[in-house]
Amino acid sequence: MAKASRKVIITCAVTGSIHTPSMSPHLPITAEEIADAAIGAAEAGAAVVHLHARDPKTGKPDQSTEAFAPFLKVIKQRSNCVVNITTGGAMTMTIEERVRPAATFKPEVASLNMGTMNFGLYPMLERQKEFKHDWERPYLEGSRAGFFKNTFADIEYILTTCAANGSRFEVECYDIGHLYTLRHFADRGIIKPPFFIQSVFGILGGIGPHYEDVVMMKRTADRLFGDQYRWSVLGAGRNQLAIAAMAAAMGGNVRVGMEDSLWIGPGQLAKSNAEQVTKVRQIIEGLGLTIASADEAREILALKGGDKVDF
């Protein structure tokens, strides 16, 4: 069985490529908004903040180092939280674009998607009829015929490009097969334990959000990795808090944030990332558990430390 920490690590995904700016007036877009949202989430109890960048004028996903630099510096100055930089970026980006911020800034943690998959965002079009920006509707519609490319070569490229950085990876597994892909790279010695496995539930094209799906993910990871991994979960959309509660009760860690869900309750938009962190913290503490501080998360995940990043 996976070794469960007595402390629960909360990761907050502050803003990402899934949701478009028109879908919520509360989604952080500018560097200042992203920095404030990350710091607010950390103050609410998130030990780790997972970060994407956006064009401040249009809100379009932006994977340039120039887009990341302003908020990375502010977060480091004002918070002790662990910074996790995406290598997922957006489905429209090349693998070279996607890895560049993590390769440049050498964060303590970087995300890593473990398989090519259908990634269906287009059902959001049924709920959203009006858009502020020209790119938003085609971006969502494009997921109907497109796919999220993460080939074996892509994964190996990210791992080898960042090999000298000392960064660990938040390994994002959207289906059971992705766990076997991680095992493949571990057996080749390209990625080292302890593995930080983020199981993702409820994305159209990946594993569903049923309780039995959650249990099967954990049982498979236990069998493949034993005590060499730390388990966390991400529930997309309305599944966010329910999946988090399941995982916390099962000895896991949790991820919330406005990249994964814009909601705080049925039909109620979250006003901030901190609001979602506060909500999941209440669930965790209601189960008689305690949350990990940033430094406790560093120890649990065997991270290099915030003084060894390049921002």
**pLDDT 10s digits, 168-201:** 999 999 999 999 999 999 999 999 999 999 999 9
Contacts of range 125-132, beta carbons closer than 8 Å, 24 or more positions apart: 128/20, 128/22, 128/23, 130/22, 131/20, 131/22, 132/21, 132/22, 132/59
Band the pLDDT of 6: cuts 50, 70, 90.
confident
pLDDT given at position 21 = 96
The answer, yes or no, to whether residue 5 has pLDDT greater than 70, is no
Average pLDDT over residues 205-228: 98
The answer, yes or no, to whether residue 2 has pLDDT greater than 90, is no
Burial (CB < 10 A; 0-12, 13-18, 19+), residue 141, is middle
Give the β-pairing of 268-269 and 263-265.
antiparallel
Residue 297 forms part of a structural domain: yes
The answer, yes or no, to whether residue 309 has pLDDT greater than 80, is yes
Residue 88 forms part of a structural domain: yes
The answer, yes or no, to whether residue 4 has pLDDT greater than 70, is no
Question: pLDDT above 70 covers what percent of the chain?
Answer: 98
How far, in Å, CA of 83 to CA of 85, rounded?
6
> Which residues have CB under 8 Å from 107's CB, separation 6+?
83, 84, 85, 165, 167, 309, 311
Task: Read off the CATH number of the domain in which 108 is found.
Answer: 3.20.20.70
> Which residues have CB under 8 Å from 221's CB, separation 6+?
2, 179, 197, 199, 229, 231
DSSP class of 163: G
Average pLDDT over residues 7-20: 96
How far, in Å, CA of 42 to CA of 44, rounded?
5
How far, in Å, CA of 259 to CA of 38, rounded?
12
- What's the one-letter identity of residue 133? H
Q: What is the pLDDT of residues 103-159, one digit of tens each?
A: 999 999 999 999 999 999 999 999 998 999 999 999 999 999 999 999 999 999 999
Residue 1 forms part of a structural domain: no
Print the domain residue range for 158: 7-308
Q: What is the pTM of this model?
A: 0.96
Residue 250 forms part of a structural domain: yes
How far, in Å, CA of 250 to CA of 289, rounded?
11
Residue 2 forms part of a structural domain: no
Q: What is the pLDDT of residues 94-119, one digit of tens each?
A: 999 999 999 999 999 999 999 999 99
* pLDDT, the chain, mean: 96
Residue with tokens 């803003």: 15
Domain count, the chain: 1
